[in-house]
Amino acid sequence: FKKLNLPFTRSLMFIVGTSEEGEWTDMESFRREFTIPDFSFTPDGAFPIHNIEKGYADVEITIPLERKFGSGRSSIVELAGGDSPNTIPSTARFVYRDSREGETVTLAGEGRSVHSSCPEQGDNAITRLALLIRKQNLDHPALNRMMDFIGCLHGDCSGCFLGFKNDNPYYKGEYTGDTKANPTVIRLTGEELFLNINIRHRPGATREQIEEIFHRLSKEFGFAWRIAGYQEPLYLSRDNKFFPLMNRAYEAVTGLPGSFSPAGGSSYAKALPNCVCWGPVFPGEEDSCHRENEKMSLESITRCIEIYGRFLFEACTGSRRQQL
């Protein structure tokens, strides 16, 4: 753009985020030190325009869990699964030593890792492991109780067992989809069990509702809990003046109609006002985000460059142009 000496009537800012998978301290610093853009987009999802994003919450559950059980004759060696709070785990492992039989038993939960915003596309190794553990009928009431809790979440990607209501998947007349709630990390450290439940709540669901659900469950199952990370759902009206420009650029390059769709994931769109997630995955393409071998074809990258270039040119000059 700079080399072309284009007649910009708006300033254009390129922001490089460095902590999207962390606590977003980078964007906090940006908001303190720089001018907030009037409008922005982040290429961290798919086409068409994501004017809706589900919220995000990590609920961390802890409960005391003795390693020795069966009158002290057996002991838990390891209980672990998952390594990222926003990823459905592909492996989970439980190892215990049975002194009566003089053997060590290993149970492995095998699944398929996907982004936790689309858990139905994967297979949760933690919930599978919980079902395997319960089949052992171990003499460990506290462990069995927690495995019952986790096992009830197997196949229940929308958190119905937890108590989330998904009776109306619309917000302000727009489709949002169901809330998603799934265990993503489990660890036994010392004699304390840790379990992370990742929640993607749809617009209209609130932090207070999440707190009410886990307050009730904590009384029933005897665990402590806290919300470790929380982001409100995002909603931006389709009336935004930049959306027609975005759809026009998309249509010119792809020949497909520009439109809107909700995003199940969470992106930097929540970090700034009037920001949406737009691209880079095209309809029909595999989205390999948070999977092994994340990738994107050179053809798709080139198309994205043209789409984004067309939009930015028109947005910053106020005029259309066939070729940049």
Which pLDDT score is estimated for 324?
42
Summarize pLDDT for 266-307 with one digit per residue, the tens. Answer: 889 999 999 999 999 999 888 777 667 788 899 999 999 999
pLDDT at 184: 98
Cβ–Cβ under 8 Å, residues 290 and 83: no
Structure tokens belonging to residue 219: 């009384």
Is 225:214 a contact under the CB 8 Å cutoff?
A: yes
Residues 6+ apart with CB under 8 A from 226: 59, 60
pLDDT at 323: 44
Amino acid at 97: R
pLDDT of residue 3: 74
Burial of 178 (0-12, 13-18, 19+ CB in 10 A): buried
DSSP bridge partners of 34: none
pTM for the whole structure: 0.84
CB 113 within 8 A of CB 104: no
User: Alpha helices of 160-258 — where are they, by DSSP H?
Assistant: 207-221, 243-254
Which segments of the chain have a pLDDT < 70? 1-2, 290-291, 319-324
- Directed axis angle between helix 141-151 and helix 125-135, to 10°? 140
Q: Could you report the per-residue pLDDT of 218-239, keeping only the tens digit for each?
A: 999 999 999 998 999 999 999 9
d(CA 66, CA 274): 50
Structural domains of the chain sorted by starting position, each given as residue range(s) with its CATH number in brackets: 25-53+241-317 (3.40.630.10), 56-232 (no CATH)
Parallel, antiparallel, or unpaired: how do β-strands 103-110 and 170-171 relate? unpaired
pLDDT for residue 42: 95
Backbone angles phi, psi at 139, to 5 degrees: -85, 65
| pLDDT on residue 70 | 87
CA distances from 272 to 42, 56, 287 (A): 10, 16, 25
CB contact at 8 A, 90 and 111: yes
Q: What is the per-residue DSSP string for 171-189?
A: ETTEE----EEEEEEEEEE
Residues 6+ apart with CB under 8 A from 160: 166
Which positions ≥6 away from 163 have C-beta within 8 Å?
Answer: 213, 216, 217
CA 296 to chain centre: 20
DSSP for 137-169, written as a single string: --S-HHHHHHHHHHHTTTT-TT-TTTT---S--
